[in-house]
Structure formats: C-alpha cells, structure tokens
Structure 1
Amino acid sequence: MALEDLSRVTETLITLLTTRIGSATVVAQAPDQLPTSTKSTISVYLYHAREDAHYKNAVARDGTSNPFHTPLALSLFYVVTAHHYGDDDKPEPLQEQKLLGYALKALHDYPLVGDDTKIGAVDILHHELRGSDNGLQIIYRPVGPEESATFWNGDDQRLIRFSAFYEVRVVLMKPEPVTHIPGYVLSVGNYILPTGVMHLASSHSVVRFTPPGGDPIALPASPARVALELIGPPSPEVPNNHLALHGSRLGGGRLVLRSPLFDTPNNQIVVDPAANLAWDIHVTSTRITARIQASVNVDGVPKTILPGIYGVSVQVSSDVALPGGLTKTVTSRSNELAFAVTPFVTDNDPVGDIGVAVRVEVAPGIDLMDPALAGQVEVYVDGLAYEESASGNPKTFEIHDGQHLDVYLHFDDGATGNHPFRLLIRGAEAPPYWIEVAS
C-alpha cells in the first residue's frame, strides 16, 4: 500500500462500522472530546503509530536505501469506544455495551479489507486506496484490564470507559518518486534447488535490441524477461516472446501462470496447449518452451496478458485406479519461479522543439489504455523520471492510444546523440531503446 493521507485508513474503518451497524453514528474524534449530549455514537480514534520493522531495510527503485525513496511502513493503533448519554447527561452503560458489541462483531467479521470487500453494494476500502493491490489487516489487541485502565486520564471522571483496542497494518506511506534508475541485470547467480521431485530450476529468454549505429543484439536473460513482441525474427533466431523453463521431471506438465490481475481462483491460470495453439508449447522431461501471447484462452474466455511480473509453475495431473473400477485424478505442482513480461518499443517520431510531443510506439499486443495499467506506466529518458501529465511540459508524457505515448522531452533537436529511453509497465522494463538525434 502506498498512500499520503492516513485519514483514508480511518475513513475506511468508519465506512465499515457505519455500513455494518447502520443504527450508530461513527466518528474519528477522541473519546474524551465527545459531549455528554452524545447518543448512539462510536468513536474510532487513532492514538498511536509504530514503524513496521519488516520493511525497514527496503531497497528503493534506484538501487539504494535512501529514506526519501523507500516507503515508511506503519502499524496504526486505534481505540474504539461507544458513547450514549441519557437526558441527565450521564452515560447509559447497557446501551454503550450493545453498541460496542456491534462494533466488535463487525471488525471480527472483516479482518481483511481489500479492493473486493463490500457490504451490500458499498465498497469498504476508501476509493483512493483501491485499484493498487492495497489492503488492510485489522487485528484485535487483547489489552489487559489494568493496562486498559491506564490508557485513560484519571483527571476526567468521564474517561474510564468500556473500549476495545485494534492494530491496523501494514500501511505504507508513499515515498518520494525516484528521479533516476540504474540499468537492469540480465542474469543472476545460481541457487540451490531440490532434486528428486518435479521442480523448475531456471527460466530463460532473450533480450533483443538494436544499439544506435550497430547490429541487432540478442542477450540471454535469466530470470526470463519475455517481451510482448509477437513478430519474431527469421528462424532459427529465438523470438522476443520465447520463454524457456529448465527443470526435472516436467514430462506431461502444463504451465500455470499466476498474477493478481487474473480473476480466477488463487489468481492462477492453467494454460491448455490445445486451446492456445499460438503459445506453441513444447514439453519434455527437462524443458518446457512457450511463446507468450497477449491473451490466454481459459474455458473459451480470453484472459489478457499485460506487462508485469508473473509467477510460473508446472502442474501434472494423473488418474489413479481405485477399488471398484473407480479412478481419482491426482494433481501435483512444481515450485514457482518469477519472470517478467515486458513491453517492447518499436519506433519514435523525429525530435523537434521542446514542448512538442514525440510519439513513441510500442509493439502490438499491449493496450496502454487498459484500465489495469492506469498509473502503472513509467518513462525515463537519460535516466530522468518523466511524470504522466497532460500539461505538455518538458519531462512529462501521456498515453495517446493503445500503442502510442506522447513524450515531451527535456531537450530539443539540438541535443545530438543517443538518449536512452526506458519504459516500465507494472515494474517490467522494455528492452533497451534509444531516441536518436542526428547531428
């Protein structure tokens, strides 16, 4: 989760309680600040925040641990209190106990609040937090009676109240944007993997690009960085969308892809080779190859493959004979590897004056207008981060249509030379590309 306003978390809790209970007013005020005329009210008060140590050493996109560019991970602590006063300005404990019981039940029933959490037709997660794999975990804190009593200020006779304490985590405060990123690594070291069982050892692909004034280059990449560029080079060259998986005991297996974008159980898709001939899947006991396409057919329904990081594993199903002539299908699955599906930049218009858009084209197969890609496209030129904006100012870009970006460069046609252009979509970076300015 990346947010800039902690009040959106509190508003989410208020929406949950208000929608679930219905008969009570829910406010964010401190429990000692409500007047003695208050009736049927529940206060949800944020009284403490603590940094989550698990995220303390996160590495920023620029490869450093600069605090400016790493998110601040917080656990938020709330006190939930019921308030109901009679006409004599004295609290009515039985009514307050009923209200707090409703609140306890509501927060127990919804310990996880995410994009899909609804009560009736009401979305519970605040609209500014939805659409980015955000989620809140609501944890009841079993505070002892003595500790609970010390929470209140004894100078105010109204403040020793029946309350419940909750922790909401993990809340990531949005870091400062990265303004410069280093190059990417095309190969990583070896890892120890189990033997004797079906497993994947590594994933492979090629990263194909043409440097300025040079011949085409195809570099091996492991883990795989598969470009959604569906027009392959002449045989026997390895195409850009070619994925190879190496392992053992893979015979008869089917590819299983996992992505949070898939609206399927466990966000997984089993790729049926017969229903996806364009994937050109070949399986041996030690190797599986496929050509990643822009969609995969699942029971007659196409599922879009967008750029991003995917998990891949191999599933093998076999029928086991049972007594009485019955059979049972037994399914086993390998370990999972991660690989990137990347965009591919094909061309750009000539560079003109500053403030005049340069149109950059990506290969067919990617729809930049897909709603799932909103806010997920990043552009860097000469290592400088460009902002997505319709202002037309230098160092900005906007999506023109499904295959084109309008990029407002920070230089004009007088800046001769080769300017590295980097396109990232959902964290997956396109193969190297340069905007060339002739002398």
Structure 2
Amino acid sequence: MPLADLSLVTSSLRTLMDLNMRRLMGGVPPGAISISTLPPEKVGAAQNTLNLHLYHIAEDRYYKNMPGPGNDARNIARAPMALALFYILTAHHEQNPDIDALTQQRLMGLALKTMHDYPIVGDRLMIDAGAGAGPQAVLHPALQGDDNPLQIILRPLTPEDTLAFWSTDDQQTARLSAYYEVRVVMLTPEAPERFPGIVLSIGEYVRALGAATLTGSRSTVHFTIPAAIGGGAQAVTVEPARVQLNPGSAPPNDSVTLLGSKLTSGVAQSLVLRAAAWSRLTPPVNRVELDPAMNPGWALSLAADRIDFRAQPNLAFIDGGVPRIVDVLPGIYAASVRTVIGDRVFAGERMTSGVESNQIAFAIGPRIAGHGPPDPVTRRIRIDIVAAFDLSLPALGVELVVQGDAYVRLAAFTGNPAIDDGAFVVDPAGLLLQPLFNPLVPGFHAVRLIVNGAEAQPFWIEI
C-alpha cells in the first residue's frame, strides 16, 4: 500500500540497525549505541553513533508512467509514484584519538553486516536484540500489514565517487561511509474519481499437456434491471466466475463452474483453494483442500471436464491433525486440482504422490439485498447486503461507485455537506451513502459495490 510519510522508511531502517547491532554486540541494552539521521557534518562530537542520512530521492524507472486505476483524464495521478531512496551511512566516535578510528570501523562493520543479512524488511521480520526484550518488529507499525517491503541495496561506488560527496570542504578528510539504495517506496496517489465498465470474459490459453488442466471459470450473475427500462430478472453468464455470498439462494448466486480437461484422472482428486487473506491469519493458511464430507454446503461435484461447487461463508479443513475453520470473505480466490497419481505402502507407511494443476482465479463478492428510501432530512440512502459476513471488518476494503462516481469512505458523517456529499459509511449489515444526485427526483442510478476487489451483482438505486 502506498505511503505519504518517507520518515517511516528511515525509522524502520534505524530500528533494523539498532536491534541487530545490539544483538551482534551480545545483547547490550538500548542506548548503548545511537542511530541518528542528521546530515553527517552535523553529527558533531558523538560517541558510539551511526548516522543514516537520506540525501537523495529518484523516481524508479520500472514503475514510471504506469497507468492507474479508473478512467480519469489524469490517470497517471491515480497511480502511486515509485521512489528509490538513497542513504549515506557513517560511523561517529570521538573520545580518544588513539582508538576513535578503530571504534568507527567496528561500528561500520556491524552496520554493514546488518544491511547485508537483512536485504528485505517486511511485516514478518522480528529481531531479538537480547536484554530480555524478546523479538521486536522492525518495520514501522504504520507500514505493517500494507504490503510495504523495503529492499536494501549497497551501491557500488568507487573511492573516487565517494570523494565527491565530501569535496565541499578542502580541509575535510573523506569520512568512512557506505551508500545504500532503498526501494521501492510508493507515494500515496490521488483516489480515482471514475471507473471503467465491467469486463465479463477473459481467456487463458497456456496449458500443460497430459495432466489435469483448468482452462477457465464460469458463473451466472442474477440481477434485476430497473422498472423504468422494462424491469425483470436477468441472468448473464460471465467468465471468469464472479459469485456472491448468498447461501441457499435459488436460483443460486454462489455457484462456480471450473472448466478443464482430465480433471478425474489418477487415483483420487481434490479441489484446492487459495486466498491472499488466509496467508495473513495466525497461523497462516497457504492452501485448503476442500473436503466434501466436512463441507456439505459447498456441494462439490467433479467430472472429467468440469468442477461445480457453491461458495459458502466458511470452510472447514484439517490443519496439522486438528479441525479448523476459515472465513470465506469477499475477495479474489484461486482454484486448482490436486491429482493423486500413486498410492502405496512402503516400510509400513502410506506413501502418496500427486501433481497439482494450474490455478484459475474467481471472485467471491457481496450480494446486495436492496436499498431503503432516502431519508427526508439528510437525504441519505441505505444499501443492505445479504447477511453472510460483517462488511465493517478491518480486513475488508470497501469501494462504492454510483453512476460512475467513486464515493469516499468515512468513519462517520461530519454534518458538513462539502465533506459528506459523495461519501459513505459502512456498518456490519451494509452501508449508508450521501448521494451526489438529488434523491428526491425520480430516476435510477447504477451502483457498483466492490469488496477486496470482488464486485456485487449489478444493482440500481430506484427513486
């Protein structure tokens, strides 16, 4: 996730050096070494100090000019600006002229080892510095959980290049230093104001021969068009599949069909599901093999050329011999088929060998149940979802687009129309929006509700 405060990156690097260097020094207490971020010439007569100073910023060439989401005229402004940050690392110790240089070299060696040993700083990096504090997170709390890993690269500057950094003062000797590049840091972009239409079908044409292969996913989206343009129930087949959490619905709104070939080959087969959100659970879940006996509501059916199932709000499985249940929240999921091709007993133990097919994506979104009338005073309109999950969960990113306009999510309405118009507030059962259109004038307005990248069925607010 993009950020706006570059100091969070510097703070994370300072934490990395402090924790690991104290660990390398035998668990010395906090404060035994100092990590500053001043320009090197302003550090002064410090002792046992390392200084990490951000002296230059450049735009990352790989991500430059990448298009952003939506279809606004200034689309580039909707994409995060990718930056590479350049730091100079110096050691400072002025106490005894006979040993100052040796102390600086020792500090620099520990710092270089730290940067070398931890080239990637991510959410899961924990370091125990000793002194009884236990493992501590390196990445700043404001960067945690938002996919903000930092890559640390030692820049290969020549001795002559480094002299240029210190050449402003003819009386100053070049200080022992190292130069680092930290990337990629994404600056927060502007939010998109308009979104393009819906893509209903894409294709995948690369496949492995001779094994179970998935070629696509398909579902049927059921919705009702406004009465003003004819009304009536509609059913549209879409590829890849995009279903809504709506247990027991008839016709089914949660039915997914996976298409492929050789799906029933081998000794046994199982459907494997993956979701990025599951990897962030404690303990993390990388994959789940769907057991029909433990999940009868999923109505799993396998045939040689297709797999059918109905997405349910939760999924039970065995994790390390212990039953476990994970929530199936809105988002993008991946499905594959695991085929057991060998099953035998060797040395008293059962040995199975299997292969897994390619993965196919499908989306599970919310189901809009309906909307209420405009409030006569505030003019706000409530939209309810089918009660299959809590829409206000922190793990869910909720987006609302009405008549092509992207609405802004607020924690609560402020009472100021300049802020509240075109905004919405989420609660467990749905959301409340303050429309940009006049809700007292008869008409119909297209609504797109997107949760973690998965969209609800087509829906209209009818006044």
Structure 1 length-normalised TM: 0.90
CA distance in 2: counterparts of 1:224 and 1:57, whole angstroms = 31
Q: Which moved more, 1:47-56 or 1:73-82?
A: 47-56
1:178 is aligned to 192
The residue identity in structure 2 corresponding to 1:380 is V
Residues 123-202 of structure 1 aligned to structure 2 (within 5 Å) = 123-153=137-167, 155=169, 157-158=171-172, 160-189=174-203, 191-202=205-216
2:116 pairs with 1:100: no
Residues 346-361 of structure 1 aligned to structure 2 (within 5 Å) = 346-353=369-376, 355-361=378-384
**Cα distance, 1:253–1:146 mapped onto 2, change above 3 Å:** farther
CA distance in 1: counterparts of 2:337 and 2:171, whole angstroms = 65
CA distance in 2: counterparts of 1:249 and 1:19, whole angstroms = 53
Residues 16-95 of structure 1 aligned to structure 2 (within 5 Å) = 16-22=16-22, 23-35=32-44, 37-63=45-71, 66-86=75-95, 92-95=100-103
Task: Tell me how far 1:337 sits from its aligned partner.
Answer: 1.9
Percent of counterpart pairs with the same letter?
38
Task: Tell me how far 1:139 sits from its aligned partner.
Answer: 2.5
Match of 1:411 among 428, 437, 440: 437
Task: Tell me how far 1:223 sits from its aligned partner.
Answer: 1.0
- For the Cα contact (< 8 Å) 1:257–1:310, is it kept in 2? yes
Task: Tell me how far 1:320 sits from its aligned partner.
Answer: 4.3
Residues 332-347 of structure 1 aligned to structure 2 (within 5 Å) = 332-347=355-370
Q: Which moved more, 1:123-132 or 1:423-432?
A: 123-132
**Cα distance, 1:148–1:258 mapped onto 2, change above 3 Å:** farther
**Cα distance, 1:129–1:353 mapped onto 2, change above 3 Å:** farther
**Cα distance, 1:147–1:198 mapped onto 2, change above 3 Å:** farther
- For the Cα contact (< 8 Å) 2:125–2:137, is it kept in 1? yes
Residues 261-300 of structure 1 aligned to structure 2 (within 5 Å) = 261-262=277-278, 263=281, 267-299=286-318, 300=323
CA distance in 2: counterparts of 1:9 and 1:108, whole angstroms = 17
Task: Tell me how far 1:53 sits from its aligned partner.
Answer: 3.0
Task: Tell me how far 1:210 sits from its aligned partner.
Answer: 0.8
Residues 213-292 of structure 1 aligned to structure 2 (within 5 Å) = 213=227, 214-233=231-250, 237=251, 239-251=252-264, 252-262=268-278, 263=281, 267-292=286-311
Residues 386-433 of structure 1, C-alpha deviations (whole Å, 9 max, x = no match) = 211112422111122x21212122234323200112111112221111
1:422 is aligned to 448
- For the Cα contact (< 8 Å) 1:114–1:134, is it kept in 2? yes
Unaligned runs of 5+ in 2: 23-31, 128-133, 415-419
Residues 165-206 of structure 1, C-alpha deviations (whole Å, 9 max, x = no match) = 222222111111001112211112453434322221101112
- For the Cα contact (< 8 Å) 1:75–1:169, is it kept in 2? yes
- For the Cα contact (< 8 Å) 1:349–1:360, is it kept in 2? yes
CA distance in 2: counterparts of 1:191 and 1:116, whole angstroms = 36
The residue identity in structure 2 corresponding to 1:248 is S
2:419 pairs with 1:396: no
CA distance in 2: counterparts of 1:162 and 1:427, whole angstroms = 49
Q: Which moved more, 1:138-147 or 1:72-81?
A: 138-147
- For the Cα contact (< 8 Å) 2:66–2:76, is it kept in 1? no
Q: Which moved more, 1:118-127 or 1:291-300?
A: 118-127
- For the Cα contact (< 8 Å) 1:261–1:267, is it kept in 2? no
The residue identity in structure 2 corresponding to 1:395 is G
2:329 pairs with 1:313: no
The residue identity in structure 2 corresponding to 1:331 is G
**Cα distance, 1:169–1:358 mapped onto 2, change above 3 Å:** same
2:9 is aligned to 9
CA distance in 2: counterparts of 1:56 and 1:312, whole angstroms = 33
CA distance in 2: counterparts of 1:97 and 1:261, whole angstroms = 45
CA distance in 2: counterparts of 1:316 and 1:63, whole angstroms = 43
2:462 pairs with 1:436: yes
The residue identity in structure 2 corresponding to 1:2 is P
- For the Cα contact (< 8 Å) 2:67–2:76, is it kept in 1? no
The residue identity in structure 1 corresponding to 2:407 is Y
**Cα distance, 1:83–1:349 mapped onto 2, change above 3 Å:** same
Unaligned runs of 5+ in 1: none
Task: Tell me how far 1:243 sits from its aligned partner.
Answer: 1.1
CA distance in 1: counterparts of 2:139 and 2:347, whole angstroms = 52
Q: Which moved more, 1:285-294 or 1:130-139?
A: 130-139
CA distance in 1: counterparts of 2:387 and 2:94, whole angstroms = 66
CA distance in 2: counterparts of 1:266 and 1:93, whole angstroms = 50
Task: Tell me how far 1:43 sits from its aligned partner.
Answer: 1.2
Task: Tell me how far 1:222 sits from its aligned partner.
Answer: 0.7
Q: Which moved more, 1:274-283 or 1:109-118?
A: 109-118
Task: Tell me how far 1:131 sits from its aligned partner.
Answer: 2.2
Structure 2 length-normalised TM: 0.86
Task: Tell me how far 1:321 sits from its aligned partner.
Answer: 4.0
CA distance in 2: counterparts of 1:178 and 1:241, whole angstroms = 30
CA distance in 2: counterparts of 1:316 and 1:384, whole angstroms = 46
2:130 is aligned to none
Residues 131-185 of structure 1, C-alpha deviations (whole Å, 9 max, x = no match) = 2222222223343434333333252544512222222222111111001112211
Q: Which moved more, 1:104-113 or 1:241-250?
A: 104-113
CA distance in 1: counterparts of 2:171 and 2:241, whole angstroms = 66
CA distance in 2: counterparts of 1:209 and 1:320, whole angstroms = 46
The residue identity in structure 2 corresponding to 1:31 is P
- For the Cα contact (< 8 Å) 1:354–1:411, is it kept in 2? no
- For the Cα contact (< 8 Å) 1:249–1:286, is it kept in 2? yes
1:386 is aligned to 407
User: CA RMSD of the aligned region, Å?
Assistant: 2.3
SS of residue paired to 1:255: strand
The residue identity in structure 2 corresponding to 1:391 is F
